[in-house]
């Protein structure tokens, strides 16, 4: 199965800028966390579903649906010029250190931080996850699975037989604790104020991708919507292990977008906290 201290009022400019990077990195972290357990060399990873076999008759072409677009944020006055995009990393890391949020600086992979974030957001908007050029370090530990025995009917006379059942272990959810704590520590008002201030750099990084999907503001909101639309887990998430990788036993779950599988894999409590934080941020993003 292919299964991103709360700042106080009166933040300095350098400190405020770090907040938007936190909001920024939080979304892309989701995608990277998913990636870290999908390497083919390890037996506890989850595999992609195979492509559908070729059809004798050409399939129907799905109608093209226009993606929602959103008006870009209004520029705000800045007390000092923004750094050039190519020289922004040092200021970003210094601002993150000034936030004094446990584990925040350690999560960020230095080097083209804003570009990495923008690219990750675009990938998440498509329902996929980051496979390289990631902005956030991986969670500690490996993907954890529980195995237990269940009774099933079998044999010629219908006698009960033992069968192994696999599920995602609740221990796996602990791997995302730091990420969730950092997200929960964000002040949405401060984050959005900084987002508006540094939007020119973010949009510039997005335009460099040459994707022609509109402005970065629209892509960011659609990426948040993709995460918020992930289904909630009900009970144990059962797995099968047909070959090298695990898959969801439920074929409906297995067909979900990669981002949705990641949210399920994080555990219900973690997923709800992430959705709550992103929901507040989305609300602020849509305000003038």
**Would you say residue 118 has pLDDT above 80?**
yes
**More confident call, 56 vs 235:** 235
CB contact set of 122 (below 8 Å; sequence gap of 6+): 4, 206, 209, 211, 213, 219, 223
Residue-range domain boundaries for the chain: 13-50+68-143+169-232+258-285
Nearest 5 degrees, angle CA 164-CA 170-CA 171?
105
Look up residue 263 and give its two tokens. Answer: 């949210």
**Would you say residue 59 has pLDDT above 70?**
no
The reported pTM is 0.72
Cα distance between residue 70 and residue 13, in whole Å: 27
**pLDDT band at 283; cut points 50, 70, 90:** very high
**pLDDT band at 145; cut points 50, 70, 90:** very high
* Contact between residue 107 and residue 178 where contact means Cβ atoms under 8 Å apart: yes
pLDDT digits (tens, 9 = 90+) for 170-229: 999 999 999 999 988 887 877 887 788 889 999 999 999 999 888 999 999 999 999 999
| Least-confidence region, from 28-42, 178-192, 270-284 | 28-42
Cα distance between residue 153 and residue 160, in whole Å: 5
Nearest 5 degrees, angle CA 210-CA 212-CA 215?
100
* Contact between residue 133 and residue 111 where contact means Cβ atoms under 8 Å apart: no
pLDDT for position 16: 41
**Would you say residue 18 has pLDDT above 50?**
no
**More confident call, 117 vs 101:** 117
**More confident call, 178 vs 55:** 178
pLDDT for position 25: 43
DSSP state of 250: S
């Amino acid at each position: 199965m292919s299964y991103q201290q709360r700042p106080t009022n009166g933040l300095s400019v350098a400190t405020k800028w770090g907040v938007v990077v936190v909001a920024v990195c939080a979304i892309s972290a989701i995608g990277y966390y998913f990636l870290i357990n999908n390497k083919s060399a390890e037996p506890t990873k989850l595999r992609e579903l195979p492509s559908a076999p070729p059809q004798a008759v050409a399939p129907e072409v799905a109608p093209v649906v226009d993606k929602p677009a959103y008006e870009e944020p209004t520029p705000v006055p800045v007390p000092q010029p923004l750094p050039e995009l190519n020289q922004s990393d040092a200021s970003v890391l210094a601002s993150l250190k000034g936030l004094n949020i446990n584990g925040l600086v350690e999560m960020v992979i230095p080097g083209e931080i804003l570009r990495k974030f923008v690219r990750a957001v675009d990938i998440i908007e498509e329902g996929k996850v980051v496979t390289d050029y990631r902005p956030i370090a991986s969670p500690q530990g490996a993907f954890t699975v529980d195995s237990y025995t269940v009774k099933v009917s079998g044999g010629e006379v219908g006698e009960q037989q033992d069968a192994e059942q696999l599920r995602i272990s609740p221990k796996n959810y602990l791997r995302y604790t730091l990420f969730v704590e950092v997200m929960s520590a964000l002040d949405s008002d401060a984050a959005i104020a900084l987002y508006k201030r540094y939007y020119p750099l973010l949009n510039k990084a997005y335009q460099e991708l040459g994707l022609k999907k509109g402005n970065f503001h629209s892509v960011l909101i659609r990426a948040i919507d993709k995460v918020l639309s992930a289904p909630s887990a009900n009970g144990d998430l059962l797995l099968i292990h047909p070959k090298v990788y695990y898959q969801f036993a439920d074929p409906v779950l297995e067909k979900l977008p990669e981002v949705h599988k990641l949210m399920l894999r994080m555990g219900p409590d973690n997923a709800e906290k992430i959705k709550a934080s992103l929901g507040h941020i989305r609300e602020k993003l849509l305000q003038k």
